[in-house]
Structure 1
Amino acid sequence: MNAAIAKVTAPKGPKPRDIQTEARESAAQRVRHLGRVRASGTVMFWDWTRVGGQRRLFKLLAVGQGGITGVEKVWLNDTLVSRSGEAVTTSPYNGRVSVRWRSGFGDELSGGAFATLQAGFGVWTAQHRLDGVGTILGEFDAVKGEDVAEVYSGGDPDITALIRGDRCYRPADGTYAWSDNLAIQLRDVFTHPLYGPLALDDIDNTSFIQAQLDCDDELPKRGGGTVKRYSGGGSYSLSEPVVDVARRISDASAGQIYITTEGKIGFRVGKWRAPNHTIREEHIVALDIGPGSGEFERVTTLIPKYVAPEIDWQETTADAWEDAAAIALYGESAEKELDVPWVQHHGQGRRLAKIKLAKLNPSWRATIKLRFWGLLLLEEETVRLHLPELGLSNAPAWVDSFAFDADGDEGVVTVNLIAADPASFNWTAAEEGILQAHRRPSAMKPPSGRAGDLFARCHDQ
């Protein structure tokens, strides 16, 4: 059951490892990149010719639909190589390999218009344009037979590059600029003139501007300095549902996409904001309140799965985040992964796990039917619940869901509330943890609670 649920709820779309693999197929997906991404591409041309008496292989990759704004690093197979201009200077490729790229927009709109490729092959003409596609061209000189095993042991090397992806659309002035801000990226996915499904009037601009500012909040990081609250990057296929893309970006910022009272789409990122309203006894028609989670629903440990720049932009798991209060009450449960492929910082992955666990293990949940007063909660993310007879004195809560039924017999508004923990958004540099790949394995510790008792008995036997 857990495996099935994980499969259904896991972020859809291309995985980072898929993006970093050369595709050799005639009907490959068109993939767009935002922020920084390590990517390969689809092979559009591959052939040998002679250039000045030297046999040379030309390999052209279509890397990013919409274009790419920069190539910061290049790997041949899994070797990070240095370059002087376009020439690779790392052994054994030095003097034998060059890597060029075209952005796919502006003066380089035609991603296929490489002069060396057109000069070397009459079949590759000016009509082979690849307009609006960011491309990379690898050129590999042939070597003597005795050197093949050293230089090209597996054939021509796969090319991957750390790229700066497509520019994001800025609706305020109609311009385009690269960004790793998640709110800017989400608005671009929604409203880009070529790739977005929504019109500008569909978007609540005020909420997106605030979300953009919240993403840029400076938080302390391990070792000193600061880091942005939420940033990142990722890739998506133009054929996948926009809701799946939006979810990956939203998950990377603990965000919420919602409908405003004007029928527009709003967005806010995970950050504690004090409630604007308080539910009191006189507002309530019916109330059902109970424990935050059942015995078999508790999750006490989350392991964020993200993309780590420190290990060549590969997917890895961050330091686990444990809900110490829940473990003290109930004992440890099985660890679960929090898949956030758009996240590219260890501390950000841990912050998201801390916020997520606070919502998975609330002290109470409630379903409340309200009078028309409840319409005030339509756009709200939080509310206070003031019922002193139940021990709740202005208790903060998340508005988990909202429903309206004008013909309802018991209240017209129904809200599901989750007890909120404002402290789950507090953050210190020490909480960032250490990247798993850079730390020694910790000694095994016995679990607590019932699992600990079983562990002890098994150990004794």
Structure 2
Amino acid sequence: MPQALLLIAPTTFGVGGSFALYSSLGVLNAVGIATAIGSSVLLAAAGSALQGRPTAADPENVELNIKQAVGPRIRHYGTVQVGGTIVFFRTRTGMFYRVLVHGHGEIDSVLAYILDNNEVTVNPADGYVQEAQYQHGAYKRVRIFDRLGAVPSTRYEPIGANWPEFDADHRLDGLWTSLTTADQVPADAFRTTYPNGEPSLVIRANTTKLRDPRSGLTVFSKNMALAIADLIEHPDGFNRSGWVDDDVLGVAADDSEDAIPLANGGTEQRWQIGGSYALTEKPGEVLRRMLDACAGDVQLRPNGKIGIHVGKWRPPEVTLRRDELLEISSWSSGPDKLDRYTELPFTYVDPALKFKVTTGDTWEDPAREAANGEVAVGPQMDYAFAPSHGQGRRAAKERIERDNPAHELIAVWRPSARRALFERFIGIDMAELPATWWRVKGYSLRLYDGAVVLKLASYDEDCLSWSAYEEGQPLKLPDANEEQVIPVPSNPAAAGAGIRTAQNGFTAGIAVICDAPPSDALALRLEYAVADSGDWQSWPVASERYGATITPLIDGALYDLRLWFEAIDGNPSAKVLLEDVTALASSDLPAAPTSLAVIDETGGSARVELTTGNSPDLWKTEVYRDAVLIATLYDDPGEAVVFFDSPGAGPFAWTARSI
């Protein structure tokens, strides 16, 4: 049986080792076997995770609003910006109701709502989106509600009110969700209010709360070490509650929160987390990606628990002596030249770039390039859990040392070397070996004599040093983005101006004009309303025209106008308001009548002669005797007119005017 265990141990335990199989008396211990097998299976999962993985939780996908019958359940760590899976979509009386599941498990808080790529303000009291784009007339049209994933949660009342079958038991317990409602608008306002049709929703949030052994609290944190512990202990991770060594975890959590100076001033935490994983992924693969993003390790501790470490150098506490060495099984100068690399590209998720997957500034090692004689590019590292460019560079700097050691050694030691089994790094006091530190890559025990077999790789601690100048140059959003704000109409003007509806008839109106926009892709939009009424009506503006005449209106009445530019995709500029503009039938004064003459016909009668004003704007001619209107004439301009008046006896004065 010992021989069988000896063969099984290196395969089963891998990096985890087999020391827990040995009791202090040098015999097999049943409790030790159970503990070691459980812990080591977890550790082996991290060490043997396949390179490929499901793409459901890739940062490119988590911002989408997905319609599918059964969507992936996704957990989040740190601050993320995500869409979700549509689990409810119905309409009622011109309004749609849509429920999105954004994540699995309770989160801490929502930071921002983003509708159709634009951050919006939501009134926490009633859920209404406050931006003018989502308001038509006197009413706001879009509401957003959310549930953070508590157990039990509460149902969405707007759904229950319209569909009673979705009663209080329909709560979506343990899921972070949102409800979006959007009300209809008139057809001519649809593209302005909903330029992309159904508005997409993305939410930025602080997500999973993490257990912190230093304080005893479970609160939101971006601490990478605490997130790794959560993955190990959580039922949706490895489900190994209580298996993490809290003393070691506390040290790793402190290391993760070290303040690292930034090139542009300020600091950031050494090892943070921000990212997502699907519950369909293998936990070992998720753990590997977390460890990659913090130059970390997990290892079996003497107490049978799991130690979590992140990338920060501490001098080793264990040094092996020359007299403890039994034999050197192999010693090489590291990987073959064809397997070495001098540059390491990587990707990460940058919050400054709208949480998109971004290619980092490749880590280059000039010393290795000189020693290698040429540039060799390593595999692109996936640091999707790293939320900063500097963190990605720190992880890449350590990874290039880990994958390209100057020396590799397999040696057999006396049983006294067992003190090295639970160390990440050790020293060796031997003049025959290079003066370097050694990373413990693996170990095994020979049960027949207690000898310790260590697989070691040299390790230069400088790979964990850091200065701000090593931060590199992250990608930045182009300054041109600031110019994408749609300009408002410049030099807007409006005045009363009617249009001719007959030979001598005019209809009241208002003419509006503004300067042409800087781009032909922008179209002018125009609305009018009776002054102070708020009852806005759209008025069409011809393509590539930057003015229009609104008619028919009430002659002499006051109107408010507003105009804006709209892009091809329906996005509008801010609106320009023109208030209290008077509508007029004609803005030009017609010429006065001429040749006015009055002849006494005796008997209290008079003959009145005149020629109407010779003006195309003439609508009518009015004739007054003293202050009394005696005739309204609708003759054409320049026409001679004769009519008789019967004023009676006495002196009178006749006048005529054109309108």
- Establish whether TM, by shorter chain, passes 0.5: yes
Q: Which has the higher contact order (CA 8 A, sep 6+)?
A: 1
Q: 1:83: Cα distance to partner? A: 3.8
- Structure-2 separation of matches of 1:105 and 1:174: 21
After superposition, the CA RMSD in angstroms is 2.5
Cα distance in 2 for partners of 1:212, 1:11 equals 28
Q: Retained in 1: the 8 A contact 2:344–2:377?
A: no
Distance in 2 of aligned mates of 1:223 and 1:161: 28
Letter in 2 for 1:386: D
- The equivalences for 1:43-442 within 5 A come to 43-50=86-93, 55-85=94-124, 86-90=127-131, 92-94=133-135, 95-105=140-150, 109-110=152-153, 113-170=155-212, 176-192=218-234, 197-200=239-242, 202-287=243-328, 288-330=330-372, 331-390=374-433, 392-393=434-435, 395-407=436-448, 412-438=451-477
Give the % identical residues: 28
Deviations 1:146-172 (A, max 9, x none): 333343344312211111113224568
The answer on whether the counterparts of 1:10 and 1:339 sit within 8 Å (CA) in structure 2 is no
Structure 2 residues without counterparts, runs of 5 or longer: 1-48, 480-659
- 1:213 Cα shift? 1.0
Output the amino acid matched with 1:93: Y
Give, as a single letter, the amino acid of the residue that structure 2 aligns with 1:406: L
Look up the SS of the partner of 1:117 in the other structure. helix
TM-score by length of 1: 0.85
Separation (CA, whole Å) in 2 of partners of 1:323 and 1:97:
53
> Distance in 2 between the 1:210 and 1:11 partners?
31
Distance 1:173 1:381, change over 3 A: closer
| C-alpha deviation, 1:240, in angstroms | 3.1
Say which of 16, 34, 41 aligns to 2:59.
16
For 1:407 and 1:26, locate their aligned partners in 2 and report how far apart those are by CA, in whole Å. 58
Q: Residues 398 and 303 of structure 1: is their aligned pair in 2 closer, same or farther, counting only changes over 3 Å?
A: same
Tell me the secondary structure at the aligned position of residue 437 of structure 1: coil
Q: Which amino acid aligns with 1:398?
A: R
Aligned AA (2:248): S
| Matching residue's letter, 1:191 | E
**Distance in 1 between residues matched to 2:167 and 2:226, nearest whole Å:** 37
The letter of the residue matching 2:144 is V
1:34–1:165: 8 Å Cα contact kept in structure 2?
yes
Gaps of 5+ in 1: 1-6, 441-461
326 and 11 in structure 1: CA distance in 2 versus 1, 3 angstrom threshold: farther
Alignment correspondent of 2:569: none
Note the C-alpha offset of 1:193. Answer: 6.3
Alpha-carbon spacing, 1:439–1:433, altered in 2? closer, same or farther (3 Å): farther
Q: Kindly provide the amino acid, as one letter, of the partner of residue 245 in structure 1.
A: V
- Whether the 8 Å CA contact 1:249–1:342 is kept in 2: the answer is yes
Name the count of aligned residue pairs. 423
CA offsets 1:120-163 (integer angstroms, 9 cap, x no match) = 33343222111121111111122222333343344312211111
SS in 1 for 2:432: helix
Q: Give the TM-score normalised by structure 2.
A: 0.60
- Residues of 1 paired with 2:413 and 2:131: CA distance? 69
- Quick check: 184-193 or 289-298, which moved more? 184-193
Read off the aligned partner of 2:66 and give its amino acid letter: A
The structural deviation recorded for 1:195 is 6.2
The DSSP-based 3-state class of the residue aligned with 2:281 is coil
Cα distance change, pair 306–11 in 1 and its aligned pair in 2 (3 A): farther
Q: Deviations over 1:83-124 (max 9, x none)?
A: 444333446335332222111227xx325x122222233343
